[in-house]
Structure 1
Amino acid sequence: MAPLQAAVVAILLPLMLHYTTGRDVILPVGTLYRVAGFPLSLPCAVVGYEGARTQDFEWFLIREDANGRQIGIVSTRDQGFSYAPYQERVRTGEVRVERDSGDKARLVVQRLRPDDQGRYECYTPSTDSSYQGNYSALVAVKVMPDTLRISHTRVLTGQPMPEGAELTLTCSAGIQSQEHTHLSITFGKRGGGGGDSSGGGAGGEVSTLREIISLDRALGVTPGSSQSYRKRYDDGEITLEKRNGVGGVDVYAARLRAVQPDDSGSYYCEASQWILDPDGSWQKIAQRTLEIGNLTVQPLSESMSVTSTPSGRVSLQAGSPLSLTCQVSGLPSGGTYGLLVQWMKRGSLTSDATAAGAGGVEVEVARMSPDGAVSWGDDLSRGTGGALEKVTEGSYALRLFSARPSDSGVYRCAVSVYAGRKNPAPSAAATFTQRSEGVSVNLKTKEVLVSAVAQVPRGPLLKRGNTVTLFCNVTVTTTGPAQVQVLWLRRPIPEPVIIKGDHQTDPALLLPVEEAAIPVAALTYEGMAQIFTNGSEVSVDRVSAITYRLRVHAASPEDQGLYVCQAEVWGQDPHGGWYNTQAKAESPVVTVYLYARAADLLLIPLVIGVSSALFVGIVIISAVTCCFMKRLARQRPQK
């Protein structure tokens, strides 16, 4: 029964409420204050009615000086309803009724006049079976004089402004009202880009009206709704400030720290007057828009250029100083710009290489950040052997005091511009980046011939635990001072791999498997020993002018393998510094195999002999014990 009772209550309750309350007409709570010359919108709704869902509405005005006499304004059911004061305004649409739904409509007065002040009545003709409830409602409207003022102090001339320059938009605004009202200011732009766009309409038209920044009625600053303006506001690139003026008219200044090409367009300033209605909602009662002027932004890419000197190809002897200059020109004067200058290098040219043939990965040689700090790329040693300097405004020189053969390659200067920011954050994106043409740098080295031969000295067979000695004889033919750097490498002795043919019965083919070489030890050109192995005791030294020795003490089976020595020749530049001439040689392979010691060979028969003797003794003892026990068992029954 409970569900049935609930259903009956749900059906009867609305009917009971209807017959209890009846029809009711609802208007906003008054008194409403509006401004002459600006729109009035009065919504009216009817509830609790019977009949069709589309209700009719009639509007009347009771002026304060009319002794309660009603003036018909407009009706939804009678086109001739309007009284003489409103007939022409209704005919032109200045005064009209707009429906929100069948039982909701609003009276719209496009431009209020002082004599529109009074009490407005919304009446709904009855469609009910009985006359019950309220069929009209009244609200008082006060019409205030228009005191909203707006003016500009500087107009944009439309002359091109360079990208990155600072733009300040100003306008003055104020109100003088006896009622408590608030003022809001909005700066915006028409045309061009400047933010996210959203398509509209079947034709795919795009709105070009953009709000840049606003000061709301509570004096809160908010950026435009586009993602671009929000980000620039968060980064401090767009600001708005209020400056106190004279006679209640204040000055508002919007600043764009660095204009962008998308900032081209027509700018305006909009002032709005707000009032708090009795129902607690804020209403915009007046608004004026002032055109500030047109702006054209010239992109940096159209004016800036980056060149490097000398151009083309540079050939130097190794050890000579290298100087490259990066020239930045075309930056507009009067702007604020931060420059990140980078020298990049790609490839390594030999004496007969060409710029077009230089390949490889482009790496950073050095950079100068916008704050003037210099840092070097992967080769940190260049910090003491070179310099990156700002020679004059827009001119940056890369100097290598003693160029090395590894410095050969194609050099380019890359300049990143941060418009409007002298010292941008490390994570900030550059406004524009441009690169110079490549400069091919070829470092000529003196003629160097090098050969290397590795060998094991003659002697007894190498056994486990012995000291393994290897010699590397290096021959260098060159002019001037030279040093040799020797590196010993070891590969494991290849294990054969069986590869079968198409049929299982085909004979096997034995192929060696070559593994990667393992560095063992090195002797640098400065005479310093470097040991790379962890398990064995290794030493390396130079025993004569051309002979280098590697010794593996207490060799173990892990030290067996195929050994080679690599020799690199280092030359001396005129300043006394050493550089790698890139001349190198690798010796033929030397095989090191360790035989077992005599003690190890004697241990095997000794172990076998002891094991055999123990086995025979156990068998004999077991047999004797077994026979003795059987004989003893036969003797016991005879007793």
Structure 2
Amino acid sequence: MAPLQAAIVILLQLMLHQAAGREVLLPRGTLYRVAGFPLSLPCAVTGYEGARTQDFEWFLYREDANGRQMGIVSTRDQGFPYAPYQGRVRSGEVRVERDSGDKARLVVQRLRPEDQGKYECYTPSTDTSYQGNYSASVVVKVIPDTLQISYTRALTGQPLPEGAGLTLTCSAGVQSKEHTHLSIMFGKRGGDSGGGEGGDVSTLREIIALDRVLGVTPGSSQAYRKRYEDGEITLEKRNGAAGVDTYVVRMRAVKPEDSGSYFCEAAQWILDPDGSWQRIAQRTLEIGNLTVQRLSESMTVTSTPSGRVSLQAGSPLTLTCQVSGLPGGGTSGLLVQWLKRGSLPGDAVAAGAGGVEVEVARMGPDGVVSWGDDLSRGTGGALELVTEGSYALRLFSARPSDSGVYRCAVSVYAGRKNPAPSAPATFSQRSEGVSVNLKTKEVLVSAVAQLPRGPLLKRGSTVTLLCNVTVTTTGPAQVQVLWLRRPIPEPLITKGDPAEAAALLPAGPPSAVAALTYQGMAQLFTNGSEVSVDRVSAVTYRLRVHAASLEDQGLYVCRAEVWGQDPHGGWYNTQARDESPAVTVYLYARAADLLLIPLVIGVSSALFVGIVVISTITCCFMNRLARQRPVK
């Protein structure tokens, strides 16, 4: 049995040795490659014995040489190349590149039509016995170069404002008898590589591409990928004549980092017999240089008229905001605001002194106009787009309160025509201030409040206060009277000397009681008390507090404001006002109130005595009856 087992083992070893024989591998053919472009043929050897680094020799069997073998290049013999290849090998145009010790590739940098034929990769033996396959061959067809690429418009190199739209075009096509595909890629070199200035001039960034199966793919960088997903970068194919199509890239809004040198790359692809796609031709076309100018460098905001404006109250006021240096095409949204600081007359306004800056009006990117705190301006003014980049604020009848320093503030949303309400602006800028001074006619006003002579004021009676207003001016005028009340200081109430209350006004703001507007309308602000206001004569205004209570006593003043009439018939506040000295309203107790205390005390005492007497009599009477009851 042992000799049989030994024979089986020897047989298996021989079979394994046969299976492990040398094998040389090349890609399956036929391979089609384009004249003028590289050829790369990988060759690998397996199942060999000896050193791990194997030698390779390449031969060509030309179709026009009747099958005659021609040596191309060898890894072990520098004199191996035949005459047609000696110069090309010495220049490196034809060479062998090693991937590893047992893998190498033949590289022909620029194929020629005469390079067509059958290529053989041969590996000299390093084995102890000659077994296996020592060479392999593949047919290579060299087809003409028909790849075309051109552009319809190149970049001029002129600066483009930040936020402007950019269009890049590239036309490409190929006419081949073989079934090939075409891919297009738009890219950029240099410029700002992502947020900083300067950038690396050697930086190459793919923007967007149309691959060999007509799929659009954005560049590998996160920035370009996000802009593609947001619809800011698009690629469109337009069919053309004679197989040459046009490819259009649109960038909705360029950014400073988009500066650089742009190019278009077209590649021809073929599907090899092994199922892999191979790029067999490629051309790159320079489109031109682009410089993106930041909005901070190009944008200017000015307001007219400039400097100082003086107008009579009631006159129309027009302020214009001019915006220049913005990207064209209407791809960017604008927020235009008119702001005002202060309302002081004279030189204080020119100096911009005092006051908090408030918004007068705004026009959003959607063109909707809204007004600031003074909502009445919505009917007395307008904010409108006059021409492209020119916005006018119009007040049909300016008031003295409209005096102040006006500025136009413009916020640009580059590439976003309708930004979200919370979206940050790309850049904002303000104009220089315009000082507006509204002149009013000379107005003098004085107010005096008084209590008419009469009996002492008591709780529950009607309190009457008069306010005499004197106005000196020219033209129509109306007076608006506001009645205010402050509490009487507590020490004076305790002391019971109301005459001294008017000389000492307590701290804190007064509370409004009632008002009579310049239009003759009554306004009541009481806490439940019944009050009324009216005008009893041309200069006298009256406040009445009916059924006055303790809450109604206090220090009363009347504040008079003068309203004038502008030439258009509108009324405005002249800012002329005066506040009267304080008048003390102190409520005394009524006679009935003075009798109430003894009455209450007397009734209580009488009731207590009666209860005691009745209880005593009742108790004694019941005890006597008990004693008189007969004993059984």
TM-score, normalization by structure 2: 0.71
3-state DSSP of counterpart to 2:158: strand
Query: Which residue number in structure 1 is paired with residue 455 of structure 2?
Result: 459
Q: Is 2:149–2:283's contact at 8 Å kept on the other side of the alignment?
A: no
Aligned partners of 2:79 and 2:586: how far apart in 1? 120
1:385 alignment counterpart:
380
Q: 1:166 to 1:332 in 2, by over 3 A?
A: closer
User: For this pair of structures, how many residues does the alignment match?
Assistant: 581
1:221 to 213, 216, 220: 216
Q: Secondary structure at the match of 2:568?
A: coil
Is the contact made by 1:319 and 1:403 (CA closer than 8 Å) also made in structure 2? Answer: yes
The aligned runs of 1:9-158 (5 Å cut-off) are 35=33, 37-38=37-38, 40=40, 84=81, 94-98=95-99, 109=107, 111=109, 145=143, 147=145, 149-154=147-152, 156=154, 158=156
Residues 1:477 and 2:472 aligned together? yes
Q: Residues 147 and 268 of structure 2 are in contact (CA less than 8 Å); yes or no, is this contact kept in structure 1?
A: no
Residues 440 and 582 of structure 1: CA distance in aligned 2, closer, same or farther (over 3 Å): same
Check if 1:189 corresponds to 2:188.
yes
Deviation at 1:560, TM superposition (A): 4.6
8 Å Cα contact 2:349/2:405 also seen in 1: no
SS of 2:528's equivalent? coil
Counterpart CA distance in 1 for 2:33 and 2:621 is 133
Residue 582 in structure 1 maps to residue 565 in structure 2: no
Of residues 223, 235, 249, the one that matches 1:254 is 249
Q: Say if 1:184 and 1:412 are closer, same or farther in 2 by CA, change over 3 A.
A: same
Cα deviation, 1:304-338, whole Å, max 9, x if unaligned, reads 65443333222222222333344556779999877
1:314 matched to 2:313? The reply is: no
* 8 Å CA contact 1:269, 1:291 repeated in 2: yes
SS of the aligned residue for 1:247 comes to helix
Once the two structures are TM-superposed, the CA of residue 408 in structure 1 deviates from its matched residue by 0.7
- Counterpart position of 1:168: 167
Using a 3 Å threshold, how does the CA distance of structure 1 residues 617 and 419 change in structure 2: closer, same or farther? same
TM-score by length of 1: 0.70
CA radius of gyration, larger in: 2
The aligned counterpart of 1:501 is none
Distance 1:470 1:26 in 2: 120
Corresponding residue for residue 524 of structure 2 = 531
Indicate the residue corresponding to 2:346 in structure 1.
351
Would you say 1:403 and 2:398 are equivalent positions?
Answer: yes
Q: Report deviation, 1:251.
A: 1.5
Is the Cα contact below 8 Å between 1:564 and 1:587 reproduced in 2? yes
| Superimposed CA distance per residue, residues 160-203 of structure 1 (whole angstroms, 9 cap, x where no aligned partner) | 1442665432222234456654332111222223745799xxxx
Q: Find the aligned partners of 2:585 and 2:103 in 1 and give their Cα distance.
A: 104
Residue 481 of structure 1: how far off its partner (Å) = 2.0
CA 167–604 in structure 1, closer or farther in 2 if over 3 Å, else same: same
Residues in 1 aligned to 2:286 and 2:223: alpha-carbon distance in whole angstroms: 23
* Amino acid paired to 1:539: S
AA paired with 2:96? V
Give 2:500's aligned residue. Answer: none
For 2:13, the equivalent position in structure 1 comes to none
- Which residues of structure 1 form unaligned runs of 5+? 1-20, 497-510
1:115-174 deviations in whole A, cap 9, x for unaligned?
A: 696687999999xxxx9xx99999978666475624213353644144266543222223
Match of 1:239 in 2: 234
Task: Return the alpha-carbon distance in structure 2 between the equivalents of residues 513 and 400 of structure 1.
Answer: 41
Change (3 A) 1:125 1:449: farther
Q: Is this contact kept in 1: 2:181–2:212, CA < 8 A?
A: yes
* Equivalent position SS for 1:360: coil
Equivalent-residue separation in structure 2 for 1:530 and 1:435 (angstroms): 42
Change in CA separation of 1:158 and 1:321 when aligned onto 2, cut-off 3 Å? closer
State whether residues 492 and 560 of structure 1, in contact with CA within 8 Å, keep that contact through their aligned partners in structure 2. yes
Q: Which moved more, 1:221-230 or 1:277-286?
A: 277-286
The answer to whether the 8 A contact 1:349-1:441 is kept is no
What is the DSSP-based 3-state SS (H/G/I as helix, E as strand, rest coil) of the residue aligned with 1:582?
strand
2:407 matched residue in structure 1: 412
Q: How many percent of aligned residue pairs carry the same amino acid? A: 62
The amino acid of 2:154's aligned partner reads: L
Counterpart CA distance in 1 for 2:602 and 2:466 is 39
Partner Cα separation in structure 1 for residue 126 and residue 603 of structure 2: 125
The answer (yes or no) to whether the contact 1:347–1:409 under 8 Å persists in 2 is: yes
Matched to 1:190, the amino acid is R
- Report the Cα distance in structure 1 between the residues aligned to 2:124 and 2:469, rounded to whole angstroms: 115
SS of 2:351's equivalent?
Answer: helix
Find the residue that maps to 1:353 and give its secondary structure. helix
Can you give the 5+ residue segments of structure 2 that lack an aligned partner in the other structure? 1-18, 492-503
| Deviation per residue, 1:381-400 (Å, 9 max, x gap) | 33433344555666554433
The answer as to whether partners of 1:495 and 1:512 remain within 8 angstroms in 2 is no
Letter in 2 for 1:255: R
Q: Check conservation: 1:267, 1:291, Cα contact below 8 A.
A: yes
Residues 357 and 326 of structure 1, relative CA distance in 2, 3 Å threshold: closer
Judge conservation of contact 1:454–1:564 (CA < 8 Å) in 2.
yes
Q: 2: distance between equivalents of 1:345 and 1:230? A: 43
Residues 186, 157 of structure 1: CA spacing in aligned structure 2 closer, same or farther, 3 A cutoff?
closer
Q: For the residues of structure 2 that align with 1:236 and 1:520, how far apart are their CA atoms? A: 61
For 2:519, give the aligned amino acid. Answer: E
The letter of the residue matching 1:152 is: S
Which amino acid in the other structure matches residue 96 of structure 1?
A: E
Give the superposition deviation at 1:445. 1.7
Q: What is the CA deviation profile of residues 82-102 of structure 1, one whole-angstrom value per residue up to 9, with x for unaligned ones?
A: 975899869959532346xxx
Q: How much has 1:252 moved relative to structure 2?
A: 1.1
Alpha-carbon offset, residue 415 of structure 1 = 4.9
Say whether residues 1:518 and 2:511 are aligned partners.
yes
Q: Deviations over 1:401-443 (max 9, x none)?
A: 322101111223445567778x655757666655433221111
In structure 1, how many angstroms separate the alpha carbons of the residues matched to 2:615 and 2:74?
A: 133
Instruction: Spell out, residue by residue over 1:467-519, the C-alpha distance to the aligned partner (whole angstroms, 9 max, x if none).
Output: 444433333333322222222334455668xxxxxxxxxxxxxx998454333
**The residue matched to 1:574 in structure 2 has which SS?**
coil
CA contact (8 A) 1:155 1:293 kept: no
CA distances 1:254-306 after superposition (whole Å, capped 9, x unpaired): 23455555443211001234456788776655543221222345566666654
The amino acid across from 1:532 in the alignment is: F
Amino acid at match of 2:448: V
AA aligned to 2:513 is V
Q: How does 1:424-573 map to 2 (within 5 A)?
A: 424-425=418-419, 433-457=428-452, 458-463=454-459, 465-492=460-487, 514-533=507-526, 535-573=528-566
Q: Matches of 2:609 and 2:219 in 1, distance apart?
A: 102
Q: Kindly provide the amino acid, as one letter, of the partner of residue 219 in structure 1.
A: L
| Contact 1:348-1:407 within 8 A present in 2 as well | yes
Aligned CA distance change for structure 1 residues 625 and 581 (closer, same or farther; 3 Å)? farther
Q: Could you tell me which amino acid in structure 2 is paired with residue 462 of structure 1?
A: K
Q: CA deviation at 1:242?
A: 0.9
Q: Secondary structure at the match of 2:310?
A: strand
Aligned to 1:500: none
User: How far apart are residue 547 of structure 1 and its match?
Assistant: 2.9
Q: What is the distance in 1 between the residues matched to 2:615 and 2:26?
A: 121
Matched, 1:294 2:279: no
Residues 360-380 of structure 1 deviation map (CA, whole Å, 9 limit, x = unaligned): 333333455677665544333
Amino acid at match of 1:173: A
